[in-house]
Structure 1
């Protein structure tokens, strides 16, 4: 009996591993189609959460008007962000040209440390890089970005338009009330997990960006607004975003100022800001809402970055949260959810309603009661 059980468990684990490998391969091969769709779903969750916040904070706004208002505000925020990037990027490029002598001096200092007899200049490096050879790739990348943005908006429109039929589809897929209740609760846990992640990353990103902007203004760094905005956007990418926010402004400070001290001071201040937010504020806000192991966060960043590139890195944590919730629904894949969780109890993420609510039962108890009803 024990031998059969062991063989059954081995077969089940092997099938799950093969299914994970096949799913990863399919996600990679279909990334051109799935990446815009995933981003559109992510934006739809953002807009839906924004609409609920509007209804909560502004009771006089009706439920029918909240969603269009959320869409309009989201488009306005996107337009303002695009304008800030375009306006400051032009100034940034112009200042780089003006800082060419300073760049030549830094290159000469580095060449002296490396015992290079004839240090190259910026023009020499520019000629050796031959940027004209990469213009075709840049143009192709911009064209791909425009195409993806178009498809994302198309997908988003259809997702928003079809949201009313979601409940009827769930009733058709799950005719039994117990199964339907489990499916709806799983969807809400995924939605709430993504929304909590967005809320925490947005608030902490704003804290880091505003604090960094104040530090850069005190130092006198040019384009402080531009750098603060980039730091805020990079905060949505785990690990790498923080490194960009710490290193990029001090590197530019090396070019702008004639001494190293402003860059060193700015590096220390930005490091202190990231440390305080990442180790004090973020854990208090996040708590165990995501219940993800830090190693899993890093691995998911690498995995989704390989599969879907920059979009995958941006969506790595929400996608992993979604995978953990789905895997925790089934006994055969629950062990994967346990490995993804921080404390070995993925059911913590499953509790949608507050503790003490009649429906806030442990996941194992809900599965048992659901199976009894089906029987």
Structure 2
């Protein structure tokens, strides 16, 4: 019988230290959630602004400084437009919903009766019976606290973003001071470019595929006659940035509201089947072709990242879960002791793409290069 392969104690100790460091880092992320959540969102917006600025520089004759101002204006206008859509859409949604408020209770009772009838269960409960033991005031108070938290969080995001934009000009000087050696500086730039390329690729893919889904979903909802289809279209686009759960919410929320709006079940069934077909085609045929090497993340890692950051940072954590996973994979791949974690996170066992050009070999990393390009960070 062949004896088992002996694992060097140094490798075991190194891997154990890496695992302990991951656990400690996760505990710190939970403990500092109130501080780190708006900071992470501000960094995400900063990357978006930087990507828009480079696109403007490439597509227009604007100089570097004016391109930065234009990108900031574009992102602010998009943010303001999104807020306006949410406010107007929510107002229209609740205004139209109030028109059918008197029929909601009887309609829900009828739905419950029909569902119980399918299974041959007599004497179904009413909607009043189901919500009788629910403490409505407690949930209203919880919603109010969440709304207050969102407002304060948005304020701190803008504060962090302002300071990050102000300090962005000195980033290159800090990088030179931190890494006097040219090879180390190039390697640090490659890590930054890989993180930036992964996040920008994620934003691009989700935005384009989300727009495709929203156009088809809006046409379907208008054809069925669903009230306030524009509001639901925007909801589908926003929740599309949340992996797994976003598609479920976007595909189920409009049909559920259609159950209450229409007396017949056919509009809700058409919406449910149609939205699922749209989500399936875009999610399984269009999106994988667009992702390429930018999101070389294992699906299990995406699900675990969603659960982990959702548990630690709530909705913001779920929204940023995939970009944070891309960032973690890029950083872990740079160190010999943690590269095995990056391999586990990657989809094909290669934490970053190989384009055939050599990369400085440091800390035991094979000569590879980022798929995000070779542009240095903006100064």
Q: Are residues 1:293 and 2:290 paired?
A: no
CA RMSD of aligned residues (A): 2.3
Alignment of 1:91-106 (within 5 A): 91-97=92-98, 98=100, 99-100=103-104, 101-106=106-111
Alignment CA distance shift 1:174-1:364 (3 Å): closer
Q: Which has the higher helix share?
A: 1
Which residue is equivalent to 1:330?
Answer: 335
Equivalents in 2 of 1:261, 1:290: separation in Å? 38
Segment drifting more, 4-13 vs 258-267: 4-13
Instruction: Please say if 1:315 is aligned against 2:292.
Output: no
Q: Counterparts of 1:207-356 in structure 2 under 5 Å?
A: 207-348=212-353, 355=355
8 Å Cα contact 1:111/1:119 also seen in 2: no
- Structure 1 residue 301 displacement after superposition: 0.7
2-side partners of 1:156 and 1:102: how far apart?
47
1:39 to 38, 41, 47: 41
| CA distance in structure 2 between the partners assigned to 1:369 and 1:54 by the alignment | 32
Q: Which residue of 2 aligns with 1:87?
A: 88
Distance in 2, Cα, partners of 1:281 & 1:29: 39
Residue 133 of structure 1 and its aligned partner are, at CA, apart by: 2.9
Structure 2 runs not aligned, ≥5 long: 369-379
Offset, 1:4: 9.1
Contact 1:347 1:363 (8 Å CA) reproduced: no
Structure 1: runs of 5 or more not aligned: 371-375
- Offset at residue 44 of structure 1 (A): 0.4
Separation (CA, whole Å) in 2 of partners of 1:368 and 1:262: 56
Q: CA deviation at 1:135?
A: 3.2
Q: Distance in 1 between matches of 2:207 and 2:247?
A: 14
**Post-superposition CA distance 1:115-161 (Å, at most 9, x none):** 36263245x65664342233332222222111111110000000011
Look up the match of 1:117: 123
Give 1:364 shift.
Answer: 5.0
Q: 2:374 corresponds to which residue?
A: none
Match of 1:373 in 2: none
Q: 1:71 aligns to what?
A: 72
TM-score (norm. length: structure 1): 0.89
In the TM superposition, what whole-angstrom CA distance separates every residue of 1:216-274 from its partner, at most 9, and x where no partner exists?
11111111111111000011011110111111111111111111111112111111111
User: In structure 1, how many angstroms separate the alpha carbons of the residues matched to 2:133 and 2:287?
Assistant: 44
| Residues 256 and 195 of structure 1: CA distance in aligned 2, closer, same or farther (over 3 Å) | same
| From 128, 134, 139, the counterpart of 2:144 | 139
Aligned equivalent of 1:198: 203
User: Does the 8 Å CA contact 2:258/2:268 hold for their aligned counterparts?
Assistant: yes
